[in-house]
Amino acid sequence: MGEIMEKAVRKKKDICSYTYEELAEEMQAAGEKTFRAKQIYQWLHVKLADSFEEMTNLSKSLREKLDEEYQIAPVELVERQISKADPTEKFLFELEDGNMVESVLMKYDYGNSVCISSQAGCRMGCRFCASTIGGLIRNLKTSEMLRQIYRIQKITGERVSNIVVMGTGEPLDNYDNFVRFIRMVSAPEGLNISQRNITASTCGIVPGILRLAEEGFQITLALSLHAGTQEKRKSLMPVANKYELSEVLAACDTYFEKTGRRITFEYSLVKDVNDTDEDAADLIRIAGHRNCHINLIPVNPVRERSYVRPSRQNALKFQNKLEKNGINVTIRRERGSDIDGACGQLRRRYAAAGKEKADEILRAD
């Protein structure tokens, strides 16, 4: 094979997924001075460079060498929707292979929070979730998780202080890349986001929760509970066929014991499915004696599914029942209702219709 062909075929290394120590080793192996690794890491993870060209304190020849060897994972903006209802923005990004992922920026009094995706698609099959309709396409690389935040900071000029891993995908089904992401985004030489300001949500993969409990993190774990009995949970979430509710709750208890971090239970309220008095009683049995917080999320309608949210009045009634039993509970405030749709919907539209058609649909909306 000729040299030109070889270059074209050779896959470039994913430089944004390297920790600072790994990058330092790479640079040392390439015969570069140690401080170069520091400079490059800063460009990538603090100054949020999108190209080596921008790294103006490196020599032109080093920049060219880096460009030949490495790639800064492409996370290209395809669509930005700005809510008129509240300070929320939704972003659709295209990855190197044409896959699309969604991220959301929510501005609060206490700071800016970004919700990121951890996979392209999801294989968990929860009945009310748009993210799983096309199945799992692939895991996101650590760089692709990080760069959703970096791109949003750069596009909006806003500093991000909080992260929720609650977009498309199951983070514990992409364990290694997810854990690396947590380490890197909270590292002092990177964005340095406090782990206490990071929440990761899981559908309840027991071995993943137990492993995460041993990582020494201070992140909040949110469990997508959605039902107070094993039977009902199974009807909403196929993952419950694999892990019994009692096992999942025991794993959450272990997470709390090891980390001291109170668990959040997420409960998507679906009219006539899990919002009855009996459902509230089941939930009280689980949460009444635990140090936890319950987040009630009136279900977002998904085009392909027929689930309906309860009326505001019924949601409040459900909340009151829990509160009367001393449970710490909130109804999640809806953000970006005019742009949002259910999580994964925007990406679905593009996947189903192709870019041009999706543009039409969005305009028509």
Ligand X SMILES: C[S@@+](CC[C@H](N)C(=O)[O-])C[C@H]1O[C@@H](n2cnc3c(N)ncnc32)[C@H](O)[C@@H]1O
Q: Which residues are catalytic?
A: 102, 343
293 is in an annotated binding site: no
User: Strand, helix or coil at 301?
Assistant: coil
Residue 344 marked in a binding site: no
Among 15, 137, 203, 280, binds ligand X (CB under 6 A): 203
**Ranges within 20-49 binding ligand SF4 (CB under 6 A):** none
Q: How far is the CB of 117 from ligand SF4 (least distance, A)?
A: 9
* Amino acid, single-letter form, for residue 326: G
Q: Which residues contact 330 (CB under 8 A, 6 or more apart)?
A: 293, 294, 295, 296, 319
- Answer for the pair 301, 308: CB distance below 8 angstroms, yes or no: yes
Walk across the sheet containing 162-165 and list its strands. 75-82, 88-95, 100-108, 111-115, 162-165, 198-202, 220-224, 263-269, 292-298, 328-331
169 annotated ligand binder: yes
Among the candidate windows 26-34, 164-172, 288-296, 352-360, which touches ligand SF4 by CB under 6 A? 164-172
Both structure tokens of 14 = 């994913």
Is position 203 an interface residue for ligand SF4 (rule: CB under 6 A)?
yes
Closest CB to ligand SF4 among 207 and 326?
A: 207
Piece in contact with ligand SF4 (CB under 6 A), picked from 13-21, 38-46, 68-76, 125-133: 125-133
Binding test (CB under 6 A) with ligand SF4, winner from 70, 169, 172, 245: 169
CA distance 133 to 294: 26
Contact flag: residue 302 with ligand SF4 (CB under 6 A): no
Cβ at position 83, least distance to ligand X in Å: 17
Q: Residue for token digits 């009310």?
A: 128
Check binding of 300 to ligand X (CB under 6 A): yes
| 273: its two tokens | 């499915």
Residues of this chain that interact with ligand X (CB under 6 A) are: 126, 128-129, 131, 166, 170, 201-203, 224, 266, 268, 297, 299-300, 302, 342-343
